[in-house]
Chain A
Amino acid sequence: MKSFSLLSGWFGVRQELSKERRTIIGWASFLLPILIWCAVSYLPFIWHPLVLVENIGDVDYFQEGMRIEKTIFKEEFENMQSNGKKVPQGIPANPIYLPAPHEVAKAFYTAFTTPPAQKDGLWMHESLWQSIKVIFWGFVISSLFGVPLGILCGTYSVVARLFEPFIEFFRYLPAPAFGALMVAVLGIYDGPKIAIIVIGTFFQQVLVISNTTRKLDYSLIEAAMTLGTSKWKLLHHVVIPGILPNLYLDMRILLGWAWTYLIVAELIGTSSGITLFITQQARYQHFENVYAAIFIIGFIGLGTDLFLAWLGRRMFRWDRPANKV
């Protein structure tokens, strides 16, 4: 009975967790997948479908360091045994595409310290910087048009009716489909990549922001009108300040959206940035580097978002729901 109530204490429907529990569970959300990964990597009896050959014995086609299917290894092992030849030796292993955590951890460090393989290649941090620049410009250009248009759509039905039907149609067109077209128009370097991110972000941005704008409590606008606010002043003095915290939240979500278009964008024209790094490392089967690069994107994304969330709480002190946590 006691243990039951203890457990149910963790599952209050829509109840805030205590600060202590928040921290514990927050860490657990990262630790859990890492633990699973460790178990799969370090416990030979979990999965490990291959055998890493350490001693080829008398099997003529085996090579040292080769990863071979368990059944084939077993077959050859019995084969050699019955023929009285030297048996091969090996240890259970995972496929090459699943490196162990410590290998990836090492790759994190070496990725930044290893000079590029080719002479004109880029260092890891240079590749990353290239990607960040593409994201930045893509997002800025999209927002420059998307935010004002979204707010206008949410405020004036005329604007909404004029733009939204077409945008609704256009947002279903997959951004990468415009790759070839954008290369033809903007060349092979950063231009088309930025364009793909803009296409991927802009249309969603307008719709999301116009929706947020529409959710502003209309009675605030009425109150402002009874205080003698002219039609044109309403936008600047009521609508925009009123939606700002939610607009900011939308922008955080949309920035994450922009990142998802990055990899496709960077494959267009001449490959560049973190994508080039990842595809090259995959080609050489350096999968630990591939994972390291993917995780770095994750860390940059999470880091930016945490920073923006922190900044938002500081900027919008008056917004109670946002500051509740």
Chain B
Amino acid sequence: MIDKSTKSTLASYLHQSAEVKTRFDKLKNREVILEVKNLDKVYKTNKGETIALKNVSFKTHKREFVCIIGPSGCGKSTLARILAGLESYSGGEVLLDGKPIEGPGRDRGMVFQGYTLFPWRTVKQNVMFGLEMNSIGSAEAGREAELWLELVGLEKFANAFPHELSGGMKQRVAIARALVNQPRILLMDEPFGALDAQTRAKMQAHLLEIWRNIDITIVFITHDLDEAIFLADRVLVLKAHPGEVMELIEVPVPRPRNLTQTNSPEFLATKARLEALIHPQEVTELNEIPIQQRMIRFVNVADNVE
């Protein structure tokens, strides 16, 4: 899969310390939870067919943290929605625990970018929702919900309504709401995309903390390279038009992760590789117009700011 010539120049992202290597070996020995085989997704529109995903294949092991990354239009959200069962696919196979996915189900929790909390329910009632829908008595559901609210640190806000919460808090409720069902995998579609940088960093650390303590496999969609490297065991890189797998990168940054590692050589090497894959310098996309070309000057010649 990897080209020999690029390997020599960018070798360091492939270099894994012994510790990291044993972790990956251990990880790959775990059972496969999610298997995507030759997945195709074609949209039929009035203008003809658009290929959103083409021949996508990958495996995810139990308790793995996978990030899916790619430029806009690479179909990463479509992929997440197919995994959630919210969208159909045109070809190939999607297997969860060896069984094909048919429609949405409680075995795959999902956290959306737009929070999607039920505004008429309090925080606690939101978390209880999944249990109620699966015929669990309200007393037990209430106890469970409190437990999960404590995990995300929102037990004090149990009786607040979603509109009273900040963005980060809303997303923590959404995580608790998805986890209370004890799904096999947690799908997260750019969950922190709408948050400010500070909240975002806190939420990333918080998510890793949750992941460490719970038997959950996470598939995390993002377009933020740093976020992907910081969170993931492996990063699935997609390219756009059509959405195809470019590479499945094993992140060589050791765990437990912290923000100081963002300047470590492993981190930087991985980021350089991702950047090379996602923003190749030679090829400018057809629909992308260079910004600086021949810009008209609207200010006095003498009035310079730089």
Interface residues of B in 174-205 (CB under 8 A from A): 174, 177-178, 181, 187
Judge whether A244 and B120 touch: CB under 8 Å: yes
Nearest chain-B residue to A319 (Cβ)? B119
The answer to whether B181 touches A242, judged by C-beta atoms less than 8 angstroms apart, is: no
Q: Which of B106, B119, B187 contacts A228 (CB 8 A)?
A: B106
Tell me which residues across on chain B come within 8 A of A223, comparing CB atoms: 110, 112, 116, 118, 174
- Bound-state CA distance A131–B174 (Å) is 51
The residue from B86, B134, B162, B187 contacting A225, defined by CB atoms under 8 A apart: B86
User: Which B residues are in CB contact (< 8 Å) with A244?
Assistant: 120
Contact with A along B119-145 (1 / 0, CB 8 A): 111000000011011100000000000
By secondary structure, the A interface counts as helix
Q: B108: CB under 8 A from chain A? A: yes
A19 interfacial by beta-carbon distance below 8 Å: no
Which residues in A have their C-beta under 8 angstroms from that of B116? 217, 219-220, 222-223
CB–CB A224/B108 < 8 A: no
Most chain A CB atoms below 10 A, which of B108, B133, B177: B133
Kindly state whether residue B74 has any CB partner on chain A within 8 Å: no
B120 touches A242 (CB 8 A): yes
**A251 CB, min distance to chain B CBs, angstroms:** 17
Chain A residues within an 8 Å CB radius of B86: 222, 225-226
For B92, what are the chain A residues with a Cβ–Cβ distance below 8 Å? none
Which residue, A217, A220, A226, A238, has most C-beta atoms of chain B within 10 A? Answer: A226
- Interface status of B75 (Cβ within 8 A of chain A): no
Q: Are B120 and A228 in contact (CB under 8 A)?
A: no
Q: Judge whether A228 and B133 touch: CB under 8 Å.
A: yes
Centre residue among A224, A228, A233 by max chain B CB count within 10 A: A228
A220 to B85, CA, bound (A): 15
The 8 Å CB contact of A226, one of B104, B121, B161, B162, is B104
B32: min CB distance to chain A, Å: 22
Among A230, A318, A319, the residue within 8 A (CB) of B133 is A230
Pick the residue among A224, A319, A320 that contacts B129 (CB under 8 A): A224
Contact, CB under 8 Å: A317 / B106:
no
Q: How far is the CA of A219 from the CA of B103 in the complex (A)?
A: 15
Q: B161 — which chain A residues lie within 8 A by C-beta?
A: 317-318
Are B133's CB and A241's CB within 8 A?
A: no
Whether a CB of chain A sits under 8 angstroms from the CB of B84 is: yes
Contact (A237, B133) CB under 8 Å given A223-B110, A226-B86: yes
User: Is B105 in contact with chain A by the CB < 8 A criterion?
Assistant: yes
Q: Does A229 contact B (CB under 8 A)?
A: yes
The verdict on A224 contacting B133 (CB below 8 Å), with A241-B120, A318-B120, A318-B163 known, is yes
Chain A residues positioned under 8 Å from B110 (CB to CB)? 222-223, 226
**CB nearest neighbor in B for A317:** B161
How long is the Cα–Cα vector from A242 to B110 in the complex, in angstroms? 20
Contacts of A228 in B (CB 8 A): 104-106, 130, 133-134, 181
Report the interface size for chain B: residues with CB under 8 A from the other chain.
30
Q: Which of A279-325 contact B (CB under 8 A)?
A: 316-320
Identity of the chain B residue whose Cβ is nearest the Cβ of A242 in the assembled complex: B120
| Mask of B85-121 contacts with A, CB within 8 angstroms, 1/0 | 1100000000000000001111011101010101111
Q: Which residues of B contact A238 (CB under 8 A)?
A: 118
A36 proximal to B (CB < 8 A) = no
Q: A226-B84, A317-B161, A318-B161 are in contact. Are A233 and B120 (CB under 8 A)?
A: no
Complex contact B118–A219 (CB within 8 A)? no
**Interface assignment of A227: CB less than 8 Å from any CB of chain B:** yes
* CB contact under 8 A between A229 and B133, given known A219-B112, A222-B86, A223-B112: yes
User: Chain A residues near B174 (CB, 8 Å)?
Assistant: 223
Residues on the A chain within 8 Å of B121, using CB: 241, 318
Q: Chain A: which residue is nearest B105 at the CB level?
A: A228
Chain A residues with Cβ under 8 A from B187's Cβ? Answer: 226
Determine if B133 and A320 form an interchain contact, defined as CB atoms under 8 angstroms apart. no
Q: Is B114 within 8 A of A227, CB to CB?
A: no
* Complex interface: chain B residues within 8 A of A319 (CB): 119-120
Task: For the complex formed, measure the closest distance between the CB of B189 and the CB atoms of chain A, giving whole angstroms.
Answer: 10
CA distance A241 to B104 in the complex (A): 21
Known A219-B114, A222-B86: A227·B106 in contact at CB below 8 Å: yes
Interface centre among A219, A225, A227, A316 (most CB of B within 10 A): A227
Chain B residues with CB under 8 Å of A233's CB are 133
Q: What separation, in Å, do the CA atoms of A242 and B162 have in the docked complex?
A: 13
Residues in A212-256 with C-beta less than 8 Å from chain B: 217, 219-220, 222-230, 233, 237-238, 241-242, 244
Bound-state CA distance A224–B85 (Å) is 12
Tell whether, in the assembled complex, residue A318 and residue B130 are in contact, meaning their CB atoms are under 8 Å apart: no
**Residue contacts A-B, CB under 8 angstroms, 28 given:** A217-B116, A220-B116, A222-B112, A223-B110, A223-B112, A223-B118, A224-B118, A224-B133, A225-B85, A225-B103, A225-B104, A226-B108, A227-B106, A227-B109, A227-B130, A227-B133, A227-B181, A228-B104, A228-B106, A228-B134, A229-B129, A229-B133, A237-B133, A241-B120, A242-B119, A318-B161, A318-B163, A320-B119
Instruction: Return the 4 tightest CB-CB contacts between A and B, nearest first.
Output: A228-B106, A227-B130, A223-B116, A225-B104
**Contacts beyond the supplied A229-B133, A318-B161: 17 A-B pairs with Cβ under 8 Å:** A219-B112, A222-B104, A222-B110, A223-B174, A224-B118, A226-B110, A226-B178, A226-B187, A227-B109, A227-B181, A228-B130, A229-B129, A237-B133, A242-B118, A244-B120, A317-B161, A320-B119
